[in-house]
Amino acid sequence: MAAWIYLFVSLVGAWFTWNAHFPRRSASLGVPSFFAGWLTAELATHHIAWQALATLVFARRGALRRWPGKAGLLVTLASWVGLGAIVVTSRRAKDVVEDAVSGALGPDFRDEITGEQRAMLDRPALRSRSIVPFLLSDPGVSVIRNIRYAEGAKRRHLLDVYHPKAGTSGAPVLLQVHGGGWTIGDKAQQALPLMNHLTSRGWVCVAANYRLSPKATFPDHLVDLKMAIAWIRSNIAEFGGDPDFVCVTGGSAGGHLTAMLGLTAGDPEYQPGFEDVDTSIAAAVPFYGIYDFTNSRHVHGNHGMGQFIEHVILKVAEDEDPDLWRRSSPMFRVRPDAPPFLVIHGTHDTLAPVGEAREFVAALRDVSRSPVAYAELEGAQHAFEVFHSPRTAHVVKGVSEFLCWAHGRYSKERRSGLGQPRAAAAMSPERTAPSTQG
């Protein structure tokens, strides 16, 4: 019996490996394929470890003395070869991101990064991260939670501020926008490796909730995030941040909203009641986003996305209001004065088609006067950087360098007198009593 059980366990492990290499993108299998491939591709060494442990346990029970056990061992060895290939591929992310950033910014872009920022970036990451990938706190970071940034939806108009425990002043600011298909998600769940990395190196990070569909209808989500930027302009100096330098990042639906924030600065349609507030951003880093609701480039493999957007997000058919569908799509909002962009997407993403990222980058590069970097990560699934992994570490480092370059350029302009102070936010929403987590 032990031999047969071991064969079954080996086949399950091999399926996870196979799925990580060849994910399914159909409407019915895309989500389960994502979950299985996501955990396998980012935790390949951990999969090798549990399969090795299972092999040892079953060997001690005599499973390898019978032919099903021997077959299971061959299957496991083949799985290890596949997992080893995943490990090698994930480590290539270092070169991919470096080439993307240096290709867009120039080979000497690090010269723009201030000496203080360079010194902090060179600090090594905690070694425990590769062993305990879900350890998502940092001893050098304090988090002030549940600050109200606007009146209205009590549970959704809240944000968290991450700041260095040692204190800071005039620090660059990053706004993180969570994903979840515009319908689920929370500010405390995503981009923690990136936010902790930057905060422990002198940045101030803000993670904001926003109203969710189906109760909310787009552009409610975007309006809320612009209100969060307005709050940052008025209040972030209290936490050591510079209100004049705000970057934004986010993944999936958060990637869509990140791109929209970067491309709709000052648009009164999305700033009702606070039209005069400066909501421009210094740089945008969308991860695996949706950039074209209309699917004008025909890169969506099925019609599920369009139906979901129609019934849940926009609540109007495209043929009834085609202009709304286009206005809600970053693909059609590209503009010459867009901020610098670093777009990141994985080749194995089963939830957001990588082809759409390519098309968005091409459209943005055609018109933007700012650099547009694009890192396409071989073998990466959706949400790959939510927890620690070798690929996450390389991408976090590359994103940090890109953002520090943007801050270095901003600092240089301020020193030379070219930079203009940003407009003061016209909103000063009431702040709730925060809770602090070290």
Lookup: tokens for 242:
């510079």
- C-alpha distances (whole Å) from 66 to each of 3, 91, 309 are 6, 38, 54
Identified catalytic residue from 252, 328, 389, 400: 252
Identified catalytic residue from 300, 382, 388, 394: 382
Identified catalytic residue from 345, 349, 388, 389: 349
8-state DSSP, 286? E
CB atoms within 10 A of CB 234: 18
What is the C-alpha to C-alpha distance for residues 380 and 350, in angstroms, rounded to an integer?
10
Per the annotation, the verdict on 349 as an active-site residue is yes
Which ranges constitute the DSSP H helices of 26-180?
Answer: 30-42, 44-60, 67-91, 93-105, 115-121
Per the annotation, the verdict on 337 as an active-site residue is no
8-state DSSP, 231? H
CB atoms within 10 A of CB 143: 22
Which of 1, 28, 33 minimizes the C-alpha distance to 18? 33
What is the C-alpha to C-alpha distance for residues 21 and 246, in angstroms, rounded to an integer?
37
Per the annotation, the verdict on 252 as an active-site residue is yes
What is the C-alpha to C-alpha distance for residues 251 and 285, in angstroms, rounded to an integer?
9
Lookup: tokens for 377:
């990560």
Distance of CA 188 to the CA centre of its chain: 13
User: What is the greatest pairwise CA distance in the chain?
Assistant: 78
Residues forming the active site: 252, 349, 382
